[in-house]
Amino acid sequence: MINDFFTLEVVEDINDENENKVGIDIITYRYLKLRNTKNLQDSNTYSVTVKHRIFVNGSGWKPNADYQSKGFTNYPIMLTVKSGILGISDTESKIFIKRIFPKTINATVEQSNNLSTGDSKSQTKEISSGSSSSNVNTFGINVTGGWFGDGPVATISLDYSHSWENSHSHGSSVSNANARDIQAASGDEMSVKDWSAYSSILNIDNSDTNYIGEVAQWNWGQTFPWNIFDYNEPSSGTDILLPQDVEARLLYSKEIADKQYENILLPPSELALFGLDFTMAAEWQVTFPSPLTSIEQLKFQHEVQIVRGNHQMTSSGPNSPASLVTLIKPGNLNTFQQTDPVDIGKYSLIPLLEGQRTGRGLGFQKNLFDIAPANPATEFKIRSRGNDLMVTGSGFGPSMSALFKKGYTGSGAILKIAFKVADLRTQYVLNLKHWIGSAGGSVVLECKINGNTTRINDLDMEGQGSSNNLSQLDLRNFDLKSPNFHDYLVLGWNEAVITILPQDSAVESEYVISALSIEG
């Protein structure tokens, strides 16, 4: 469940050239704020992982469908997926791909002529690691929650393993894992048979103006019985040029008597017949310049294309050997864009976990702002040291004071306090360290917590009163005897919007806030 707090998921339809739906692409984004202190600097760095899980229809195999005369048509033989950043809030940011999965999945074919007879006929035995073996690739993304110093931090790890087994009990395995303090994990499994995958990182030189920074591309293709990566050029017209040994895997033609031939058209891979289910992912590391000039936002674009194959046999009858006709048909280029740029600071915010008591407060100090309030028109942004509390707003000056002149008619100063809640039991309280400025006029604070409205009316001047300039607002209170019995909170994203206005616009007023916290 913890993974979901950092996750954005969309489902896109994959269409052919006639706009018929032939598959879906489940795109999962995970955004994490990294504590990056390389080069003796605390940089504003994010990890963004994009995972595709793609389902593609096969050719729709049916028994007794007369494939010998009709052929095997319109089956997926190659899948190309490309992902990259289309837009970013600050073009001076540094972007590179840190991890990509899978890098390579191979399914090779070994051949040996191992039997000959006196009448010069030969028997060929083919062993394919793709067709005779089970190739299972397990993929997972682990989001790690841990603690560093006084506040929680989150890290990410990609782990995967591959194993191959065959009927003779020979096996080999390769594994690679990079994980630490894993508290929550999610993943997918996929089975790849007779197909291979090759990934690449594009746009290293930024020559592709359609994208910003490095681009991930995956090429999935059938490698048995017909390797699309090796054989995809037409000999004449649209017929694909294939060597004799590859043709023999698609068409069996044997003279069984004098000028009598047995012609059998053989199918493509099982995945091409029954459909594809592939998973792939890449992790981008994005470092925004400091100080920020705008809220961190990203917009991704993805391209998915399916190439389809056809093969059939032509024969003038049983008295002649059949010939093979093969062709490939490039599919429609499906382009998916995120509708709006994503505020990655929101998704990377760490939830308030049950039982924790630290890292939930922040002081409005000049050195802690991501975007400082230069003037009342500036939208500022600040996060807690533990990255579990985020405050944005406007209407404040550099010292976090909001001044309302006599006759003020504006919409007030705004504080937006955002956090994530991961449980339904902890009773949380919002604490505000604030006061009335030297102008002397009173102010009114209207609070909307997930749409529920309440007010804070009584404020003192700095250093006066018995409350030490501290106001408390119950966000969740389960005490039936209390007049504050309520639960304003929901699982996941929560936002408290505080609007500050003068109580009497005929009097000059000033509001100052120095710190706030959420305790539970």
User: What pLDDT sits at residue 512?
Assistant: 96
More confident residue, 181 or 405: 405
Q: What is the mean pLDDT of residues 333-361?
A: 86
Shared-domain flag, residues 381 and 482: yes
Alpha carbon separation from 482 to 430, 466, 487, 520 (Å, rounded): 17, 22, 12, 17
Domain count, the chain: 2
Domain match, 476 and 512 both: yes
Closest CA to 107 of 247, 228, 245: 228
Q: Do 298 and 395 fall into the same domain? A: no
Residues 6+ apart with CB under 8 A from 258: none
Same domain, 208 and 283: yes
Q: Which of 97, 102, 282 is nearest to 189 (CA)?
A: 102
Spatial distance between the Cα atoms of 336 and 73, rounded to a whole number of angstroms: 27
Which of 55 and 122 is assigned the larger pLDDT?
A: 55
Is residue 312 situated within a structural domain? Answer: no
108-117, 167-176, 268-277: which range is least confident on average?
Answer: 167-176
Final residue of a structural domain among 345, 373, 407: 345
- On whether residue 255 sits in a domain, the answer given is no
Place of tokens 């791909």: 97
CA distances to 25, 51, 100, 331, 359 from 279, in Å? 10, 7, 11, 20, 36
- Is the pLDDT reported for residue 223 higher than 80? yes
Task: Indicate which CATH number applies to the domain containing 506.
Answer: 2.60.120
Mean pLDDT of the region 488-507: 95
Q: Both 53 and 158 in a single domain?
A: yes
Indicate whether 298 and 410 sit together in one domain: no
The model's pTM is 0.83
Residues 411 and 439 in one domain: yes
Whether residue 336 lies inside any domain: the answer is yes
Of 146 and 77, the one with more pLDDT: 77
Residue 360 lies in a domain: yes
Per the CB < 8 A criterion, the answer to whether 370 and 44 are in contact is yes
Local confidence band at 355 (pLDDT 50, 70, 90 cut-offs): low
Q: What is the per-residue pLDDT across 387-431, written as a single tens digit (0 to 9) for each? A: 999 999 999 999 999 999 999 999 999 999 999 999 999 999 999
Same domain, 301 and 401: no
Q: What domain range includes position 79?
A: 2-62+74-227+273-306+330-345
Q: Are residues 338 and 402 in the same domain?
A: no
Question: 367 with 290, same domain?
Answer: no
Is 325 part of a structural domain of the chain? no
Q: Both 370 and 339 in a single domain?
A: no
Contact 507, 406 (CB under 8 A): yes
Answer whether residue 317 is part of any domain. no
- The residue length of the chain stands at 520
Same domain, 81 and 141: yes
